[in-house]
């Protein structure tokens, strides 16, 4: 019954708005009070695993990140800490507002992109590869400094076109199965896909330790999973599409608490 | 060196039962999977975990391919005296890691 109800309500919303396209998009988005982190959809055992830092395998990556934060690197022979000091103070709140606008590249960049930009520009070191323990560890360590804080996206106006592109991608049908992100995560969350509960797709705890992966992974890796799930060809790692999607997803998750390092099934 | 997270209470009373928790980063590759090129990935697992308390072995576990990556092992022991807990993980490809933790008994 519920499967029918939500899309129905969506279309009723469209009709009430007189068929305006703009209103249709707004009607499809979930009301703020219904927003729930993926954490709420998990089993008690997996929740316990995330809550307890002595049990959460993501903490192993965090340890790596903390060591890297203090280690000098590159021909500049400089560590993150040499410029930024204690991460607990300087990095607090950073992950809650990313992605942000990078003036030099004139585009939106995510936290991973920022870490690698810092390495190239200020440490004179080669960037870390995608999904390496070094990059995941550093990003997790930085994001962990904002744990418990509400997601508060950057209000920089230059981000608007990128965020709008993310919204478009989220609502665009893709792949051989011809599904959009919104069809599952706006309309059918709480229902089941095979044996798994469909969550609302809020990026509240990235990088996450995913039990299916037996490892930590970035939001980009997770989005690639969804893309191959609808049998679309995933964008290459680091593609602007992922960052645009992240911008939109963070706006959509505004106000939810950050959980890094989250554990997901 | 694999990253390790060990949780042991710093202080305890004699006779008290304490819980010890360990987490180690390790891929625990089963040996039954194929890589991207279709070839089997060789097995790479931790085979044995031991914990000794002031040189006396108090806990041992054998690990097998079905165990998940980054194995978490928790157990309990009775506290007798101030001393050192030594944790050792041994496995394929010469994997051998030892970590220590101290506990003060009063």
pLDDT at A21 over 90: no
| Interface ipTM | 0.90
pLDDT of residue A85: 96
Nearest CA in chain A to B27: A214
* B32 reaches A (C-beta below 8 A): no
**Do B21 and A54 make contact, defined as CB atoms within 8 angstroms?**
yes
User: pLDDT band for position A24 (50/70/90)?
Assistant: very low
**Do B5 and A54 make contact, defined as CB atoms within 8 angstroms?**
yes
Q: Measuring CA to CA, which residue among A162, A147, A133, A132 is closest to residue A94? A: A147
* A48 reaches B (C-beta below 8 A): no
**Do A214 and B70 make contact, defined as CB atoms within 8 angstroms?**
yes
pLDDT at A19 over 60: no
Catalytic residue among A80, A181, A184, A226: A226
pLDDT tens string A175-193:
999 999 999 999 999 999 9
Which residues partner with B97 through β-bridges?
B89
Closest CA of chain B from A160, distance in Å: 39
pLDDT tens string B2-51:
899 999 999 999 999 999 999 999 999 999 999 989 999 999 999 999 99
Find which of A51, A52, A53, A57 to mutate to test the B interface (most B CBs within 10 Å of its CB). Answer: A57
pLDDT of residue B12: 94
The string of DSSP codes covering chain A is: -HHHHHHHHHHHHHHHTTT-HHHHHHHHSPPGGG---GGGGS-HHHHHHHH-TTT-THHHHHHHHHHHHHS-BTTTTB-HHHHH--HHHHTTTHHHH-SEEETTTTEEE-HHHHHHHHIIIII--PPPPTT-HHHHHHHHHHHHTTTTPBP-----GGGHHHHHHHHHHHHS-BTTTTB-HHHHHTTSTTSEETTEEP------S-SEEETTTTEEE-HHHHHHHHHHHTT-PPPPTT-HHHHHHHHHHHHHTTTPBP-SSEEE-
Q: What is the mean pLDDT of chain A?
A: 90
How far, rounded to the nearest angstrom, does the alpha carbon of residue A113 sit from its chain's CA centroid?
Answer: 13
Distances in whole angstroms, Cα of residue B44 to Cα of each of A222, A232, B93: 26, 33, 7
Nearest CA in chain A to B67: A214
The string of DSSP codes covering B30-51 is: -S--B-TTSSBPPPB-EEEEEE
* B3 reaches A (C-beta below 8 A): yes
Find which of A48, A49, A54 to mutate to test the B interface (most B CBs within 10 Å of its CB). Answer: A54
Q: Is A80 a catalytic residue?
A: no
pLDDT tens string A110-119:
999 999 999 9
- Residue written as tokens 């010890």? B20
Average pLDDT, integer, range B95-101: 97
Nearest CA in chain A to B68: A214
**Do A214 and B7 make contact, defined as CB atoms within 8 angstroms?**
no
Nearest CA in chain A to B70: A57
pLDDT of residue A140: 97
* A60 reaches B (C-beta below 8 A): yes
Average pLDDT, integer, range A193-210: 95
User: pLDDT band for position A12 (50/70/90)?
Assistant: very low
**Do B7 and A54 make contact, defined as CB atoms within 8 angstroms?**
yes
Closest CA of chain A from B13, distance in Å: 22
**Do B5 and A214 make contact, defined as CB atoms within 8 angstroms?**
no
User: pLDDT band for position A25 (50/70/90)?
Assistant: very low
pLDDT of residue A28: 56
């Amino acid at each position: 019954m519920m499967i029918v109800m939500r899309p129905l309500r969506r279309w009723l919303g469209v009709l009430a708005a007189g068929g305006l396209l703009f209103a249709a998009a707004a009607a499809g988005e979930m009301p703020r009070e219904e927003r729930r982190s993926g954490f709420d959809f998990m089993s008690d055992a997996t929740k316990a695993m995330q809550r307890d830092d002595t049990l959460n395998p993501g903490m192993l990556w965090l340890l790596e990140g903390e060591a890297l934060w203090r280690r000098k690197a590159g021909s500049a022979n400089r560590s993150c800490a040499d410029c930024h000091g204690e991460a607990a103070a300087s990095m607090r709140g950073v992950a809650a507002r990313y992605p942000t606008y990078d003036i030099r590249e004139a585009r939106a960049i995510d936290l991973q992109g920022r870490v690698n930009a810092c390495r190239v520009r200020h440490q004179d070191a080669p960037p870390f590869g995608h999904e390496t323990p070094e990059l995941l560890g550093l990003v997790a360590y930085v994001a962990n400094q904002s744990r418990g804080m509400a997601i508060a996206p950057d209000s920089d106006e230059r981000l608007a076109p990128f965020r709008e592109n993310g919204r478009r991608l989220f609502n665009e049908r893709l792949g051989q199965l011809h599904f959009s992100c919104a069809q599952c995560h706006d309309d059918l969350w709480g229902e089941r896909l095979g044996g798994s509960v469909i969550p609302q797709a809020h990026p509240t705890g990235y990088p996450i330790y995913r039990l299916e992966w037996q490892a930590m992974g970035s939001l980009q890796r997770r989005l690639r999973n969804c893309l191959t799930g609808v049998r679309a060809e995933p964008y290459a790692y680091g593609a602007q599409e992922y960052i645009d999607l992240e911008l939109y997803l963070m706006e959509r998750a505004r106000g939810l608490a950050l959980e890094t390092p989250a554990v997901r099934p | 060196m694999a990253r390790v997270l060990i949780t042991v209470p710093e202080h305890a009373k004699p006779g008290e039962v304490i819980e010890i928790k360990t987490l180690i980063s390790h891929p625990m590759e089963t040996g039954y999977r194929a890589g991207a090129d279709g070839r089997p990935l060789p097995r790479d697992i931790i085979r044995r975990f031991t914990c000794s308390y002031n040189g006396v072995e108090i806990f041992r576990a054998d690990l097998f391919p079905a165990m998940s990556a980054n194995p978490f092992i928790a157990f309990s022991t009775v506290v007798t005296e101030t001393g050192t807990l030594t944790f050792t993980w041994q496995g394929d490809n010469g994997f051998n890691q030892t970590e220590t933790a101290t506990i003060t008994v009063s």
